[in-house]
Structure 1
Amino acid sequence: MDVVARHIAGSGVSEAQWQACGWLDAVPVCEVATLLAGRSRLVVVSPHPDDEVLACGGLMAATQALGLPVVVMSVTDGEACYPGQSAWPPQRLRRARQQELTRALDCLGVSDGERHALHIDDGAVAGSEAALAMYLLTVLRADDLVLGPWRLDAHPDHEAVGRACALAAASRGCMLREYPVWGWHWLDPQDAPRAWASATRFPLSAPLMERKRAAIAQFSTQLGAVDGLECDPILPPSVVQRFERDYEVLIG
């Protein structure tokens, strides 16, 4: 469906507003094992290092625990997140964010899995969208489950990656589910039943949540837990709250 006025601004919709809307409680529940039935791998495609952990870190850890391999693909290195911050120029952020992802995947128990880093320029994925879809076709198998960002997530990189995932998954004939990241920030909860009519909730056990929280904590640059950062972090507590629920939501 088309969602109008998509933009990321301000502090966004609070977690309290999401919890009060009632829609989350009404979303159908499915176990991770059911989602993965008949699949041989989970392939998670992320616009920036941290998106995959925030949106589906619990699903990744659960998949590994069920004995299925997890393939993690980072489209960009997230190096453009703090423009104008002299202590954190793009080259330093490239290294730091990949290192943070390595530690996060270790927390989730998936550090030994297949990993791809495409190093497409942060903020410029749309210009490489066709090439990304072609690359995905070389990686995907028909019996994969692909998790990609929601195609209407409002961040241009997220939307471009989402479109590329949809094209490649359809061409390869594999299952696709989409995960919102910034959609939680800007979407009016009253519009969620229409925008996310095909949403499903996947419950996470206490041990999985512990792993996910530890993984999120590895993204020090995004949380602002680093020296020399003279601006607000990308992931203040109000944003992180949306990803600390004891379930994760996929669309499709």
Structure 2
Amino acid sequence: MGAVATIHGQGSEERAWENCDWLWQQPETPLAELVAGAGRIVVVAPHPDDEVLACGGLLCAAAAIGVPVQVVAVTDGEACYPGEAWWTPQRLRQARREELRDALGELAIDAASIVHLGIADGGVSNHETGLEDWLWQTLREDDLVLAPWRFDGHPDHEAAGRAAWRAARSAGCQRLEYPVWGWHWLDPGCAHMAWESPRLLDISAVAARKREAIAQFRTQTGDVPRLQAEPILPAHVLTRFYRTHEVYFA
């Protein structure tokens, strides 16, 4: 995740999401069906960690059956701790690239699969058209594009989601959206009004590997020295991504 200007507080509790019967009673979609016909998976991540938090299980399982994965890191998430004396944007930029490499390694995805675009954290909206054009030129018809939910509540996420959605449509690709901050601000009791026909993927078989991958984002969990600010990924946020199911929208 990156800098957040509009999302505050602890958000919806995980227990409330656990009790969202409408969501968890949706039929599961097998991995083979989600990736059917895909020659490659392209996951568009506004910040390093979004791809693992939301899609780590799918990426790990798909890589295990030989589906190539490309990770598009739109920003380096360098603006996550403004004002920190040690964890400056320059230091964070390098650290977060290394964390992404290590996290994907836990999922058996090679670092060569990562493309860093280097757009400024917090500034994706200003480069939305350029991102769309780059994706359109990069995508192939047999790609499955995973991108942020276009209403995720974070400006970088929404801009990246819109750009990816339009590019995938123009390129004739399959596409799925994933929520990250949606879990935070959305009232679970209203999920049925916001999320039409969610697709649930059982990741039980790879959930432990996903958790190890998440742990590599140490700057975000606070497992680093000299960090004075509250971590971006405290325990109450992490628990949303330790589930045995991931949720996608077509």
TM over 0.5: yes
CA–CA distance in 2 between the matches of 1:21 and 1:214? 27
- Post-superposition offset of 1:28: 2.2
The answer for the alignment partner of 1:243 in structure 2 is 241
Separation in structure 1 between the aligned mates of residue 177 and residue 249 of structure 2, nearest angstrom: 5
Q: Distance in 1 between matches of 2:15 and 2:145?
A: 30
| Cα contact 2:101–2:111 (8 A) shared by 1 | no
Q: Match of 1:85, SS? A: coil
Whether contact under 8 Å (2:23, 2:192) holds in the other structure is: no
Deviates more, 1:87-96 or 1:112-121: 112-121
Structure-1-length-normalised TM-score: 0.95
Q: Does 1:14 align with 2:13?
A: yes
For 1:10 and 1:172, locate their aligned partners in 2 and report how far apart those are by CA, in whole Å: 39
Give the structure 1 partner of residue 209 of structure 2: 211
**Which residue is equivalent to 2:115?**
116
Conserved 8 A contact 1:64-1:109: yes
What secondary structure is seen at the aligned counterpart in 2 of 1:71?
strand
**Quick check: 1:70–1:113 contact (8 Å CA) kept in 2?**
no
Moved more, 34-43 or 76-85: 34-43
Note the residue ranges of structure 1 that are not aligned, 5 or more in a row: 1-6
**How many residue pairs were aligned?**
245
Q: Map of 1:67-216 to 2, 5 A cutoff?
A: 67-111=66-110, 113-206=112-205, 208-216=206-214
Give, in whole Å, the separation in 2 of the partners of 1:112 and 1:223.
Answer: 22
Query: Structure 1 stretches (4+) deviating beyond 3 angstroms?
Result: none
**In structure 2, how many angstroms separate the alpha carbons of the residues matched to 1:95 and 1:82?**
14
**Deviation of residue 21 (structure 1)?**
2.3
| Secondary structure, aligned partner of 2:212 | helix
After superposition, give the CA deviation of every residue in 1:148-198 in whole Å (9 maximum; x if it has no partner).
000001110000000000110010010110000000000011111111112
The CA deviation at 1:114 is: 2.4
Q: What is the alpha-carbon root mean square deviation over aligned residues? A: 1.0
C-alpha distance in 1 between matches for 2:24 and 2:34: 19
Q: What secondary structure is seen at the aligned counterpart in 2 of 1:119?
A: strand
**Percentage of pairs with the same residue:** 54
Structure 1 residue identity aligned to 2:91: R
| Contact 1:72/1:113 (<8 A) preserved | no
Alpha-carbon distance in structure 2 between the residues aligned to 1:42 and 1:221 = 27
The superposition leaves residues 8-57 of structure 1 with CA deviations (integer Å, 9 ceiling, x where unpaired) of 21000011010112123222211111111111111000000000000000
- 1:224 equivalenced with 2:238 (yes/no): no
User: What is the aligned partner in structure 2 of residue 3 from structure 1?
Assistant: none
Tell me the distance in 2 between the aligned counterparts of 1:215 and 1:54: 9
Uncovered stretches (5+) of structure 2, i.e. residues with no partner: 1-5
SS of the residue corresponding to residue 91 of structure 2 reads helix
Q: What is the DSSP-based 3-state SS (H/G/I as helix, E as strand, rest coil) of the residue aligned with 1:81?
A: coil
Counterpart of 2:3 in structure 1 is none
Q: Give distance in 2, aligned partners of 1:15 and 1:127.
A: 33
Q: What TM-score do you get using the length of structure 2 for normalisation?
A: 0.96
What SS does the corresponding residue of 2:232 show, helix, strand or coil?
coil
Partner of 2:246, secondary structure, is strand
Q: Deviations over 1:86-141 (max 9, x none)?
A: 11000000000000000000000012552210000000000000000010012101
Give distance in 2, aligned partners of 1:74 and 1:25. 30
